[in-house]
Structure 1
Amino acid sequence: MNAVAMAPAPGDNLIEVRGLRKYFGSGTHPVRAVDDVSFAIRRGETLGLVGESGSGKSTIGRLLTRLVDPTAGQMLYHGGEAGGQDLAGMSQGQFRPLRSKIQIIFQDPYASLNPRMRIREVLGEALDTHGQARGAARLPRIHELLTQVGLRPEHADRFPHEFSGGQRQRIGIARALAVQPNFIVADEPLSALDVSIQAQVVNLLGDLKEQLGLTLLFISHDLDVVEYLCDRVVVLYLGRVMEIAPTSALYANPAHPYTRALLAAAPIPDPAQRRTIPLLQGDLPSPANPPSGCVFRTRCPHAVAECASADMALRPVGAEHWKACWRDDI
């Protein structure tokens, strides 16, 4: 099991992920989308999940919301009266009562809304499914949700095609909020939006988190947004955790070579400024046949022979800061 699962973490954890795995396919070479991942999400914080495409970010989000079933590991939810409940060990029937507490905002606001349903039906469906705001209370609750995400009550009678992409994502957020969750997975909620709209949605998520006391898992490839919105960050590569740190520490002093390469790849506003860290070379290895030892070694500029067999368990390098690299000389 990943070492960070056993490390003491200050604060009240709402979610604890321990040794989580998700393999697709069977036989000797299944696709290891998530491979022994461990981290915790504290109550009221926003945890960022970053990495290249194919690193397993969205799969983890879907595992936590039980849209897909895990292969192994634990996903402990501490939001219920029974204390830590292992979501991984639940059947879909057992998980159903918790769906109102654990919601997801999808990446594509166009595909996530039924084009044949008016917005009052989209939001009303969520309320009906979980037995909330029945009868005369239903429409006022729908109007309240629309206002909460920056839309107008009269928008309830429109169809999805009558809204812009940013407005549709606000509707997706309203749908997630409808059942009063305490944990939301935001799965790259900005990637389908224009840059001019992204900042508005980011600010909305930040405001809602403070107003409603939400806990967020924010999945993104936009490192600038993650730095602005998130309290801590988990860096993934090929289904494994490379680094976990408070946001300020990660951006000021990244400890893992992969994290440094990710940050170096971010656009530089000043064209005259030169990069001091080389960009990543080569492609992501196949998750069906990952490298031995450190999975990043085939693209790491600091890799040595020992990296092919060295134990890559997370180890502490600072206050609340862990990396999956055995070398201290880089």
Structure 2
Amino acid sequence: MHQEEQQQPLIEVRQLKRYFGDARKPVRAVDDVSFTIQPGETLGLVGESGSGKSTLGRSLLRLIDPSAGQVLYRGEDITRAGSGRMRELRRKLQIIFQDPYASLNPKMRIADILGEALDTHGLAKGREARAARIAELLDLVGLRPEHGTRFPHEFSGGQRQRIGVARALAVEPEFIVADEPLSALDVSIQSQVVNLLCDLRERFKLTMLFISHDLDVVEYLCDRVVVLYLGRVMEVAETEALYAQPLHPYTRALLAASPQPDPEAPHRPVPLQGDIPSPMNPPSGCVFRTRCPQAQARCAEAIPPLTEVRPGRFSACWRQELFV
């Protein structure tokens, strides 16, 4: 990777917000989120259900329009792009949806589902070229050309998710949002899809935002991790550093709640108690303070900024002494 490529993020998110509902009492699904994704990087996005992960992922692609802030793709602010420009950008910005049962049109054959993307962007000239490309896409994800004649209901969940991956790859994207692509699958086939994503990422030099609540998969697949809680970023770090020594109290609690296969491992903190608050009525100051074992009075007074507390490590917490 050239030096200038390292300095130019493929995706840059600046103070992104997505609110829903009444302007006087909005649901703050995503609230002032900023981060970057470098070319070829897989960035993990983790947090409990209800923390805004899927809304953030869809806002990046303008499947949901942000309420405020910017999303830059190669320096271009796509939040300001018109419908014609966004149509062009769809080739480079794709998504793998969470539910392989709901994301495929049940009335269309698989070849038509994949061919629709090719037709929309004019990527296959002529019937033979179109059929060859569809067969190639099916082969890429471990399916056979004859599968193209079948309907979605004739496939297992894992096979449907492979078709979803093939559809995303059909337009030769640079960036893919993988929105919890394993959560609807049986554990026995999740590893197959993870290995497929790893292989395709290396083969096509893809950049990816991988959204998941499965911390073990994120540790295996991702280069860096963004920890989200109630629509706000709590911590950003390289994966190895974050798992070896989580800094933010919320990150520590998340890891504490994950299954521990090694009974001889060092003792971990007690997992979180209680439920995540409503985004309609978030706590004042630090949104995590109502469940934080280290909370102090000042945590209720102001929102802590996301600060670089160590080289390449960012945390939003007033308790800086915790990071020494």
Aligned residue in 1 for 2:87: 96
Contact (CA 8 Å) 2:6, 2:39: kept in 1 or not? Answer: no
Q: Which amino acid aligns with 1:111?
A: A
Whole-Å separation in 1 of the counterparts to 2:191 and 2:157 = 13
Whole-Å separation in 2 of the counterparts to 1:316 and 1:122 = 45
Shift of 1:288: 1.1
Whole-Å separation in 1 of the counterparts to 2:167 and 2:90 = 13
Whole-Å separation in 1 of the counterparts to 2:281 and 2:83 = 31
1:106 and 2:97 matched: yes
Aligned residue in 2 for 1:197: 189
1:15 and 2:11 matched: yes
Shift of 1:50: 0.3
Q: Which amino acid aligns with 1:285?
A: P
Shift of 1:272: 7.3
Aligned residue in 2 for 1:225: 217
TM-score, length-normalised on structure 1?
A: 0.93
Whole-Å separation in 2 of the counterparts to 1:11 and 1:249 = 21
Q: Which amino acid aligns with 2:160?
A: R
Contact (CA 8 Å) 2:284, 2:303: kept in 1 or not? Answer: no
Matched residue of 2:219: which SS?
Answer: helix
Aligned residue in 1 for 2:107: 116
Contact (CA 8 Å) 1:20, 1:70: kept in 2 or not? Answer: yes
Aligned residue in 1 for 2:76: 85
Q: Deviations over 1:89-109 (max 9, x none)?
A: 223333111001100000000
Q: Which of 236, 252, 277 is the equivalent residue of 1:244?
A: 236
1:72 and 2:68 matched: yes
Whole-Å separation in 2 of the counterparts to 1:328 and 1:171 = 46
Q: Which amino acid aligns with 1:140?
A: A
Contact (CA 8 Å) 1:123, 1:142: kept in 2 or not? Answer: yes
Aligned residue in 2 for 1:292: 284
Whole-Å separation in 2 of the counterparts to 1:27 and 1:159 = 43
Q: Which of 307, 313, 318 is the equivalent residue of 1:315?
A: 307
TM-score, length-normalised on structure 2?
A: 0.95
Aligned residue in 1 for 2:31: 35
> Which of 209-218 and 270-279 deviates more?
270-279
CA separation of 1:170 and 1:259: change in aligned 2, threshold 3 A: same
Matched residue of 1:254: which SS?
Answer: coil
Alignment RMSD: 1.4
Q: Which amino acid aligns with 1:224?
A: D
Matched residue of 1:322: which SS?
Answer: strand
Q: Deviations over 1:127-164 (max 9, x none)?
A: 11111112121000000000011111111111111111
Q: How does 1:152-163 map to 2 (within 5 A)?
A: 152-163=144-155
> Which of 43-52 and 304-313 deviates more?
304-313
Shift of 1:310: 3.6
Matched residue of 1:16: which SS?
Answer: strand
Q: Which amino acid aligns with 1:287?
A: P
Shift of 1:270: 4.2
Whole-Å separation in 2 of the counterparts to 1:231 and 1:167 = 27
Q: Which amino acid aligns with 1:231?
A: D
Whole-Å separation in 2 of the counterparts to 1:24 and 1:176 = 28
Q: Which amino acid aligns with 2:261?
A: P
Q: Which amino acid aligns with 1:18?
A: R
Structure 2: which 5+ runs fail to align? none
Aligned residue in 1 for 2:295: 303
Shift of 1:202: 0.5
Q: How does 1:130-209 map to 2 (within 5 A)?
A: 130-135=121-126, 136-209=128-201
Say how many residue pairs are matched: 317
Q: Which of 46, 50, 71 is the equivalent residue of 2:46?
A: 50
Matched residue of 2:226: which SS?
Answer: strand
Whole-Å separation in 2 of the counterparts to 1:317 and 1:273 = 27
Structure 1: which 5+ runs fail to align? 1-8, 79-83
